[in-house]
Structure 1
Amino acid sequence: MVLTTSETRGARSAQMARIRARDTKPEMRVRSALHSAGLRYRLHAKGLPGKPDIVFPRARVAVFVHGCFWHQHPDPACKLARMPKSRLGFWRPKLEGNRARDERVRVELEELGWAVIEIWECQTKSAQLAQLVEEVRDIVRARAANG
């Protein structure tokens, strides 16, 4: 069966509509790992720039769980962060805009005295996640102690 252009666009539109901004699989993996490590947090702090995915208010630590494609993970080993081959006129500015916004949000949060941690989607699928949880725990404990 050959799809016409309109059917292809409709299928793509339906696929894109299923992509969620919150409670994604990578975010849920991180939240579960942090909770299992004994860390308690708040979700999606609306009063902070960028509405971080996970927030440790007392320690002033904000965690973003970024999708490698949508936020263009800069690690060259990441296979999820590839640039699409079609419609570059649409995708390049969109994805570069996401990266620029991420950087602006990071700077705003740091100027407000927050530590910002980025966890990438590809890091949540491996043994790397346990190491990242330990790093988050160390940062949260150190900042809470210095309070």
Structure 2
Amino acid sequence: MTEEFEQQEPAEVKLIVTEEMRSYLYDITKWAKFLSIIGFIIAALLILIAFSIPSLMSSTPGLAKQLGALGQGGSTMITILYVLLGLFYFYPSVLLSKISNNGKQGVLFGDQESLNTSIASLKSLFKFWGIVTIIVIASYFLLVFLVAGGMAGA
């Protein structure tokens, strides 16, 4: 009896995408497109602001004093910070755009490869935000320890 069980190959499991699921996926692609466009706009604005900071700082000398420690580093430090923020917004926007374009093609035309690419981009988007979340949580813990250590030392 065990020989008979060992000789049987496991049945191939196939998922079925229902019309309701296709409708949900299509709605997801619409929101992903909207969010990607907003993300691209924010990224472009951040980068434009980054490159206008030097002229703003030179035309308004009192601005560096108002910005405190960030202003002390000069316009270069602020420009680098804003460019990094722009790139930080750009990457998830690219992933959302891939989710939208490939997902829409996959749902409308039944293109399995496009749907696979869309889901892979979704995985990358969640991985990106997961890593960012871990970094933020670790930074909060580090900040708490530094503040607690500073208070204990004082």
Same fold flag (TM > 0.5): no
Q: Which has the higher strand share?
A: 1
TM range, smaller chain: 0.3 to 0.5
Q: TM-score, with normalisation over the residues of structure 1?
A: 0.33
Q: TM-score, with normalisation over the residues of structure 2?
A: 0.32
Q: Which has the higher helix share?
A: 2
